[in-house]
Structure 1
Amino acid sequence: MIWTKWVGRGFSIAAFAVALSVNAPVGAQDVDNAARFGSLESILDVSLSPDGNHLAFVGQGARRTRNLYVVDTVEGATPRSILTSDGGDGGNLSWCGWVTNERLACQTFVRAEVAGEVMRATNIVALDAAGGNVRLLSKGRSHRSLYADLRGGSVIDWSSTDNGSLLMTRSYVPENAMNTRIAESGEGLGVDRVDTVKATARRVEAPNRNAIAYLSDGHGNVRIMATQSFLSSTGQLDPVIRFFFRAKDGGSWQPLAQTDIVNEDGFEPAAIDAATNRVYGFQKIDGRKAVVAMALDGSGTKTTIFSHPEVDVDDIIRIGRNGRIVGVSYATDQREAVMTDAPLARMTGALSKALGGKQVAIVDASADEGRYLIRAESDADPGTYYLYTPKAKELRPLLSARVQLAETTLSPVKPITYPAADGTMVPGYLTLPPGREDAKGLPAIVMPHGGPSARDEWGFDWLAQYFAQSGHAVLQPNYRGSSGYGDKWYQNNGFQSWKAAVGDIVDGGRWLVSGQGVDPARLSIVGWSYGGYAALQSGVLAPGLFKALVAIAPVTDLAQLKDEASREGAGRINAKFIGAGPHIREGSPAQNADAIQAPVLMFHGTYDQNVDVAQSRTMRRALEDKGKRVELIEYPELAHSLEEGEARADMLRKISAFLPH
């Protein structure tokens, strides 16, 4: 066992609440749960310097403001803000990582509406840890560029901690060569080694117009390239991604594998193990994802690293500057990690025990792995970051992920199963108000997850916890059509198999009434994205069951969704995913608005690039034409996840007022 020495305090949580300008409660009598639960995570991204002596984190401020802080890891140190973004024309911060002990690299993004289309552009910049000396690392554009490529690239190798350079992808756009001899001729995504101080670059991999990603071995060598082509006959993206590898001693690209992104068939590389000259990735075994290693020597030899008989193995755990592979993870009732590194397995197990059984994840590590940045969380704990020093056996709290909820008693989340109409047992999670042992007489909400290629997991969920705090029983079903349980459960996804998916969701509502004793007059459904689609379609399938339908950023018309995807170049992919046939009309709530009896409340961001706001507008018109009660709230310039605390708080207040009391 690892005995830990606790240091009494880390950085002042109260001070951070002020420094980050979050919407924390202003006093002991403040009971504005909508503001507390609607606030975004206080800490959006955290990284540890190579020497382990400094921490950098992106903090969420008021509205869309984000601040980059740097602080020494000694007890009582004061964070200093070195960069601020406000989400305006200058963009906003996504993440920041340490290049050296004195230099940071950060990704910024900006969304804007151009000719009626919402566009998202990213860039990677570098700056000193003391602030200043900001340099653009992404490939710059000129007025000669023949078209716009909004990809700012990505860092694929952080391993060069001594010379201040990064290995990163950069997108190249050919330029008009008229009256110049220095016009850019390269096109597509390539790899450059970029000096983060001087912002100079050396080409490592020539741009390829079909390339969409590259993988490094963590030691500065590009070993994998992924490509996806446009089909000239249709002008649409090919649903097949092809992977190529380069031998350890160099040479030309050679075919490795391919995968169909609709069916997820084939081998998908994810991380390279330089020591064994293999690439770890995901491939289905008996209909479920497993972690498989493939030799990078041209033999195609595969070795199953880990598979599970019931669920997908969906994550490869990596740590350190070189991205060392140390384990895999999967989710049954709770997420489990299988650490292949024995010392780290003992360390994380002991830390979890010391922290009361909370889930422990290694977020970052110093270059020598003498210090670890740890995150611990649970269903009733949104998360706390700790600094762990194994040599000193010292575990010190640093940051709270949600300072707004630091003093709030949250509800435990209970894994459950319930019977569908055909007798199939559907897994899910039930959250009750704090202190309640049963749901008898309570108002209740069924809250289907988004996706549909997704699943809910045990852990903290701000939306479910808000409703529980408001006195509701909340059921989160992993209905058929959810991913994570293999092909048999996934069926043909939640659109083509909507009757099974929405049927399971509806049966979850019936189970709450018949099996848990909730108040049938106060049974509602709330969903986001696909969950919003399911909420609306449940009103078609079981018109009298739910007394209120709330849909956030929902799909409402499958034919319209296919048309929208075609305009964006994903028509062939979505045509396979959504399919064709009677379910296009039968499974579209906007085409069946007359069947809906319950009042409908919808929310949508106008900059949503996942589900166009036109989907909600179509549903509103369809319901209004049938004389139904409907309201649509639009949030200008917000994307799919409505990442603004004030907007989320407003939404929660409106939902609470709308639900039956």
Structure 2
Amino acid sequence: MRAIPLFCASVLCALFATAAAAQTAPAAAPPPAAAFFANPAFTGGVLSPSGRYLAAKVDGKTGRDALAVIDLTDKAARVVAGFADADIGTVQWVNDERLLFDTTDKQIAAGAMRFAPGLYTVKHDGSKFRQLAERREYFIRDGSRKDMLPWHTYMMDETGKQDSDYVYVRDIGFAGNTVRSVDLLRLNVATGTTSSVNVPFTAIDWMLDNDGEPRLAHSLDKGKATIWLRDRATDKWRVLASFEAYGPDEHSFEPIGFGPDGTLYARARRDNDQAAIFKIDLQTGTIGTQPVLRVDGFDFSGHLVADATRLLGVRYQGDARDTAWFDPAFKAIQADVDAKLPGTANLIGVPRRPDTPHLLVTAYSDVQPNVYFIYDTATRKLDFVGQAHKDIRAKAMGHQHFVTYAARDGLKIPAMLTLPPGVAANQPGTAPLPKNLPLVVLVHGGPYVRGTYWQWDPEVQFLASRGYAVLQPEFRGSTGYGREHFARGLKQWGLAMQDDIADGARWAIAQGYADPARICIAGASYGGYATLMGLVRNPTLYRCGVAWAGVTDINLMYTGHWRYASDVPEEFKEYGMPQLIGDPVKDAEQLKATSPLQQASRIRQPLLLAYGTADERVPMIHGTRFRDAVKAVNKEVEWIEYEDEGHGWSLPQNRIDFWTRVERFLDRHIGTGRKTATP
């Protein structure tokens, strides 16, 4: 059972002995693509509310992921559930005796997955197994089981109070491929009986309080987002706040969670460029005057860390994930864990019940994929339980560096620079080092997301292990760096957003990191769009491009195509996209000038294109139309089509195949296999 390794008496014997051996071993060939892109061997597991049991996914007898439970008092492990035709998916504890879980299928691509995940429960000893919701063809209703919930019943992200047989689950109403509504059901997992949570509005999201009861709901109508609050005394729902859903609104906030004392915490700006975490007045819906936590240099992103009775701290994302502990005991535990695991960021998971004997620790760094330990609060010992990618050696990875550079209009652009193993970054105040490495400018998707984090990234590290420097610009429009940074990207697809990316490549040249004759631009989704527009606008800067699942025509995002399904909601098309990207009527000329399909004849550099036939976010028509247009003028176009894949590659064999092709493509054009150094 690969996901339940033997427990060690010492952490050093499990993980760091291997690392020490690697330091003295001679340089070896980089790990194969499979080491980076195979499914993780272990994903950490979930502690029961008391901390006594750890639930984890393991290799089952059928070759599928099964569900096992480890009793941490004696390290005994037992497989409690599994299927011959599906893998265990998401797992939660209902209480200290019972689990709730659904399924997935890791052997087929997303487009071929014709069944819903179902819903199941089982006790920690393998008894009382029960199917609660259908796992069957989405649209086949004839002969449905009367003793089960319908296929469109899904688990919530929140676990509830975890002290009874009751949980809340979502009943999702679909309109084609988009979510129309989300109803909430209270489910008894022992009996399968349910009751509905009735509200006078159409909800699209829900939030439970710390007692596990529904307290907040969200609705969306005509570009307005509304947050509804349930009064616990009267059970009535009322509007807590309402604001613009897509554009800037100084009164808006994003609920994060309820503390054990009933306080609502939310992410908000309150007249500041960067978002922080604040308390919300439940009577007026107003934002508190003083932040609870502000992360220097970043918008707050994270969640509360609490048990049943105490708010212990806040988990947040700065340059790396970290925890601000309010509780002195957990501050001391964090210090002890950090001393035992130096060189990694160490995240401590807290079970529901106070004074638990065991904690789950996730350790990671930029060169180390996730490694998992159990921390014994009585003995202060760490036991190794598993790691995500056992064939990755930290010494063979490249370090990541947060950098900033100035765009041509003076805006500071954050970026992540990853250098090949053994290559050091320039130190502040010193002259640039003449590295002149081949550079891949890797553009994130979204684009209205934060694209980079200090962590082990398989795509980035695969490129770095092959000798490439990787620059990931957080161009304007990216979130996580303040309101102004985001707002200056509005309606800037192919314009200032594109200039920020090119300015990053030129910065890397000026710093001595990049050979100006060996730069390739690459990315997926919006990153694929930016790759194509980069080749159009900067033909002498980029020697080649790699684009997968990329948008090629902005107008096609609005109109869609009769042959292909789309999961972009009509609400977003009508109210969001005109503000963020451009109005199809008012900005028609701009959208034409910034659509790669309209400019395909200008692209003469070598190009690698890849699409999934079942992509509903950027349907195949984007790829085929652009492929036909660019091939009319460019003979160096490589086309890859993955059957039944969606917006990205879900199957390991497709990820391995794709990145092996990328490796060969880059080697021919900017690597050691290139024929000439001139564009």
Q: 1:126 aligns with which of 121, 132, 141?
A: 121
Cα drift, residue 165 of structure 1: 2.2
Query: What is residue 47 of structure 1 aligned with on the other side?
Result: 46
Residue by residue, what CA displacement relative to the aligned partner does 1:132-178 show, whole Å, maximum 9, x if unpaired? 65434458995499xx99642333653444432213333479xxxxx
Task: Give the Cα–Cα distance (whole angstroms) in 2 for the partners of residues 509 and 154 of structure 1.
Answer: 44
Query: What is residue 241 of structure 2 aligned with on the other side?
Result: 257
Amino acid paired to 1:103: R
Task: Give the Cα–Cα distance (whole angstroms) in 2 for the partners of residues 321 and 583 of structure 1.
Answer: 54
Residue by residue, what CA displacement relative to the aligned partner does 1:161-218 show, whole Å, maximum 9, x if unpaired? 4432213333479xxxxxxxxxxxxx95433331212212234x12666111222212
Q: Indicate how the Cα distance of structure 1 residues 494 and 557 shifts in structure 2: closer, same or farther if over 3 A, else same.
A: farther
Residue by residue, what CA displacement relative to the aligned partner does 1:485-538 show, whole Å, maximum 9, x if unpaired? 112111354753542221111122222223225333321122122222111111
Q: Secondary structure at the match of 1:55?
A: strand
Residue by residue, what CA displacement relative to the aligned partner does 1:214-252 show, whole Å, maximum 9, x if unpaired? 2221214321121224xxxxxxxx332211112231331
Amino acid paired to 1:278: T
Q: Is the 8 A contact 1:428 1:478 kept in 2?
A: yes
The share of aligned pairs that are identical, in percent, is 26
Task: Give the Cα–Cα distance (whole angstroms) in 2 for the partners of residues 376 and 643 of structure 1.
Answer: 25
Q: Indicate how the Cα distance of structure 1 residues 344 and 618 shifts in structure 2: closer, same or farther if over 3 A, else same.
A: farther
Task: Give the Cα–Cα distance (whole angstroms) in 1 for the partners of residues 280 and 597 of structure 2.
Answer: 46
Q: Indicate how the Cα distance of structure 1 residues 270 and 153 shifts in structure 2: closer, same or farther if over 3 A, else same.
A: farther
Amino acid paired to 1:41: P
Q: Secondary structure at the match of 2:69?
A: strand
Task: Give the Cα–Cα distance (whole angstroms) in 2 for the partners of residues 360 and 441 of structure 1.
Answer: 35
Query: What is residue 313 of structure 1 aligned with on the other side?
Result: 300
Q: 2:474 aligns with which of 471, 478, 482?
A: 478
Query: What is residue 459 of structure 1 aligned with on the other side?
Result: 455
Say if 2:211 is the partner of 1:211.
no
Which runs of structure 2 are paired with 1:296-445 in the superposition (5 Å)?
296-298=282-284, 300=286, 302-303=288-289, 304-308=291-295, 310-320=297-307, 324=311, 326-331=313-318, 333-365=319-351, 367-370=353-356, 371-406=358-393, 409-437=396-424, 440-445=435-440
Say if 2:502 is the partner of 1:506.
yes
Query: What is residue 542 of structure 2 aligned with on the other side?
Result: 546
Amino acid paired to 1:95: T
Q: 1:446 aligns with which of 433, 436, 441?
A: 441
Task: Give the Cα–Cα distance (whole angstroms) in 1 for the partners of residues 322 and 256 of structure 2.
Answer: 19
Task: Give the Cα–Cα distance (whole angstroms) in 1 for the partners of residues 208 and 243 of structure 2.
Answer: 20
Cα drift, residue 560 of structure 1: 0.6
Aligned residue pairs total 612
Say if 2:183 is the partner of 1:199.
no
Cα drift, residue 425 of structure 1: 3.6
Q: Indicate how the Cα distance of structure 1 residues 263 and 439 shifts in structure 2: closer, same or farther if over 3 A, else same.
A: farther
Task: Give the Cα–Cα distance (whole angstroms) in 2 for the partners of residues 446 and 510 of structure 1.
Answer: 11
Q: Indicate how the Cα distance of structure 1 residues 588 and 322 shifts in structure 2: closer, same or farther if over 3 A, else same.
A: farther
Query: What is residue 579 of structure 1 aligned with on the other side?
Result: 582
Query: What is residue 25 of structure 1 aligned with on the other side?
Result: none
Cα drift, residue 462 of structure 1: 0.9
Q: Indicate how the Cα distance of structure 1 residues 625 and 130 shifts in structure 2: closer, same or farther if over 3 A, else same.
A: farther
Task: Give the Cα–Cα distance (whole angstroms) in 2 for the partners of residues 107 and 609 of structure 1.
Answer: 23
Q: Indicate how the Cα distance of structure 1 residues 188 and 530 shifts in structure 2: closer, same or farther if over 3 A, else same.
A: closer
* C-alpha RMSD of the superposition: 3.7
Q: Indicate how the Cα distance of structure 1 residues 220 and 316 shifts in structure 2: closer, same or farther if over 3 A, else same.
A: closer
Query: What is residue 644 of structure 2 aligned with on the other side?
Result: 637
Amino acid paired to 2:48: S
Say if 2:610 is the partner of 1:590.
no
Which of the two has greater strand per residue?
A: 1
Moved more, 215-224 or 335-344: 335-344
Residue by residue, what CA displacement relative to the aligned partner does 1:416-446 show, whole Å, maximum 9, x if unpaired? 2233333444221221211123671322211
Q: Is the 8 A contact 1:439 1:516 kept in 2?
A: yes
Amino acid paired to 1:474: V
Residue by residue, what CA displacement relative to the aligned partner does 1:21-60 show, whole Å, maximum 9, x if unpaired? xxxxxxx998652111121322345201223232112358
Which runs of structure 2 are paired with 1:25-174 in the superposition (5 Å)?
33-44=32-43, 46-58=45-57, 66-73=65-72, 77-78=76-77, 80=79, 82-84=81-83, 93-108=88-103, 121-131=116-126, 133-138=128-133, 142-143=141-142, 151-155=152-156, 158-171=159-172
Task: Give the Cα–Cα distance (whole angstroms) in 2 for the partners of residues 135 and 584 of structure 1.
Answer: 53
Amino acid paired to 2:420: P
Say if 2:237 is the partner of 1:244.
no
Cα drift, residue 384 of structure 1: 0.9
Q: Is the 8 A contact 1:549 1:601 kept in 2?
A: yes
Q: Is the 8 A contact 2:523 2:546 kept in 1?
A: yes
Q: Indicate how the Cα distance of structure 1 residues 213 and 322 shifts in structure 2: closer, same or farther if over 3 A, else same.
A: farther
Give the TM-score normalised by structure 2.
Answer: 0.81
Task: Give the Cα–Cα distance (whole angstroms) in 2 for the partners of residues 654 and 299 of structure 1.
Answer: 53
Task: Give the Cα–Cα distance (whole angstroms) in 1 for the partners of residues 496 and 394 of structure 2.
Answer: 41
Query: What is residue 263 of structure 2 aligned with on the other side?
Result: 278
Q: Is the 8 A contact 1:157 1:168 kept in 2?
A: no
Moved more, 119-128 or 651-660: 119-128
Task: Give the Cα–Cα distance (whole angstroms) in 2 for the partners of residues 318 and 122 of structure 1.
Answer: 28
Q: Is the 8 A contact 2:169 2:184 kept in 1?
A: yes
Cα drift, residue 655 of structure 1: 0.4
Query: What is residue 228 of structure 1 aligned with on the other side?
Result: 220
Q: Is the 8 A contact 2:260 2:309 kept in 1?
A: no
Task: Give the Cα–Cα distance (whole angstroms) in 2 for the partners of residues 12 and 415 of structure 1.
Answer: 31
Q: Is the 8 A contact 1:11 1:78 kept in 2?
A: no
Query: What is residue 619 of structure 2 aligned with on the other side?
Result: 612
Amino acid paired to 1:210: T
Cα drift, residue 474 of structure 1: 1.2
Q: Is the 8 A contact 1:110 1:120 kept in 2?
A: no
Q: Secondary structure at the match of 2:517?
A: helix
Q: Secondary structure at the match of 1:42?
A: coil
Q: Is the 8 A contact 2:610 2:640 kept in 1?
A: yes
Cα drift, residue 278 of structure 1: 2.5
Task: Give the Cα–Cα distance (whole angstroms) in 2 for the partners of residues 567 and 516 of structure 1.
Answer: 42
Q: 1:528 aligns with which of 524, 527, 530?
A: 524
Amino acid paired to 2:52: N
Q: Secondary structure at the match of 1:476?
A: strand
Q: Is the 8 A contact 1:219 1:322 kept in 2?
A: no
Residue by residue, what CA displacement relative to the aligned partner does 1:397-425 show, whole Å, maximum 9, x if unpaired? 21112223157632211222233333444
Task: Give the Cα–Cα distance (whole angstroms) in 2 for the partners of residues 172 and 441 of structure 1.
Answer: 54
Amino acid paired to 1:257: A
Query: What is residue 16 of structure 1 aligned with on the other side?
Result: none
Q: Indicate how the Cα distance of structure 1 residues 607 and 128 shifts in structure 2: closer, same or farther if over 3 A, else same.
A: farther
Q: Indicate how the Cα distance of structure 1 residues 492 and 165 shifts in structure 2: closer, same or farther if over 3 A, else same.
A: same
Residue by residue, what CA displacement relative to the aligned partner does 1:581-603 show, whole Å, maximum 9, x if unpaired? 13312221121112222111122
**Alignment gaps of 5+ in structure 2:** 1-6, 16-26, 175-179, 425-432, 561-565, 672-679
Task: Give the Cα–Cα distance (whole angstroms) in 1 for the partners of residues 412 and 307 of structure 2.
Answer: 41
Give the TM-score normalised by structure 1.
Answer: 0.83
